[in-house]
A and B are shown apart, each in its own frame.
Chain A
Amino acid sequence: MQRQCVTPIDLVSVLNDAPPGEWLALSFKRDRIVAHAPRLVDAQKAAIEAGEAMPIMMKLPPPYTQIL
């Protein structure tokens, strides 16, 4: 039986306008940036206050994203 290729999660589009160096609070569906701030706790708090109960916290990866 041939196994099916899976569509990867697109973190390129949602991060298009992300501010570099700041903590981002993504919607749980990962379709928009709800809040951002230099400090994680501030971005998380702002997202929750904006109605996003379960924000996903991350940073815009640096342009040299490849890691060892």
Chain B
Amino acid sequence: MKIPYSDLRVRPDAAFPDRRSLDRPIVALLLTRGEKSVIAYATVDSGADNCVFPASIGLALGVDMPNPRSSLFSGSRDEPQVAYYEQIDVTILPMESEQISTDQEPLSFSLYAGFCDTLEHVGMGLLGHAGFFSRFEVRFHAALRYFEIL
């Protein structure tokens, strides 16, 4: 599946005074658990160990939080964060561009996903190694502004 990068606004700052937007490898996912489903975005993040999503998405899927399947992780700050894991079903939805057709087969798989409060402000998930990169070959073509999930 070929997917265009998505363009997001950023505020210029001292280090990047001319930067007003960023290309990011984002996918649209249909997340399902039983009868409940949510379509949400996730960034394909080769630096993430696991696949995690904002807690609100878990709540919409009926995931109990807290639950016994907790796991601690950290970002760039040395502060532990907790995610609660649950088995869900995921479908990667095609995203069209002028040069990329949506006439591509969606990719569906089962995922042991984490849900955490600390991603709430980001409003989208992270697709990391366990469960995503462990399952798919991902090729980034950043210069051409698209990526492939194979």
A interface residues, how many (CB within 8 angstroms): 34
Name the contact of B121 in the complex, choosing from A7, A9, A59 (C-beta under 8 A): A59
| B106 → A minimal CB distance (Å) | 12
Main secondary structure of the interface of B (DSSP, over half): mixed
B139 to chain A, nearest CB (A): 12
If A4-B99, A6-B4, A56-B41 touch, whether A61 touches B123 (CB-CB below 8 Å) is yes
Is the Cβ of B124 less than 8 Å from the Cβ of A59? yes
- Whether the Cβ atoms of A12 and B7 lie closer than 8 Å is yes
Interface flag for A60 (CB, 8 Å): yes
CA distance A9 to B23 in the complex (A): 9
Determine if B38 and A6 form an interchain contact, defined as CB atoms under 8 angstroms apart: no
Other 11 A-B pairs with CB < 8 A, given A40-B60, A61-B123: A3-B144, A8-B5, A8-B97, A11-B7, A12-B21, A28-B39, A40-B56, A63-B11, A66-B22, A67-B122, A68-B76
